[in-house]
Amino acid sequence: MRNNKKINTPKIDYVGKIVIEAKNPKVLAEWYTNKFGLIIELEYYGEFHGGFTSNNRNLYIEIVPTTADEAQSNISLTFHVDDFKGYLHNLKTKGIIPITTDFTHEGEFASFKDPENNKIAIMGTLT
């Protein structure tokens, strides 16, 4: 006789932390805070910490000194925003101009590079 019990397999349910290596963590943390509005202000031994809470989940962002002689692009981040056009307008007023913009079945996207050449994007959900 077959056993029809469903096996519950543990799974990842959210991202808790993102670590970005940087040649100059302080400058990069200030850029994310001042330009993108992602608050990364807590300094601890040369590392910078911050993040945000959404839907009762915390996402921590750490910007740490790179161990390589020269920093290289090491991450690609996509942030969902609640008002795509408004957020994009605010970035443009701060001198942050998208490299590309795209419109797909998933939503609207605008892509950027941070001061250490990492890929950053914002996404707005289609309504």
Q: What is the CATH number of the domain that holds 46?
A: 3.10.180.10
Global confidence as pTM: 0.77
Q: 52 lies in a domain?
A: yes
Rounded CA-CA distance 116/120 in Å is 11
pLDDT tens digit sequence for 4-19: 677 776 566 667 789 8
Q: Are 11 and 54 in contact (CB under 8 A)?
A: no
Is 7 part of any domain?
Answer: no
User: Encoding tokens for residue 11?
Assistant: 């799974």
Please give the tally of structural domains in the chain: 1
pLDDT tens digits, 61-89: 999 998 776 656 678 888 989 899 999 99
Assigned domain for 10 exists: no
Q: Which residue range forms the structural domain that includes residue 86?
A: 17-125
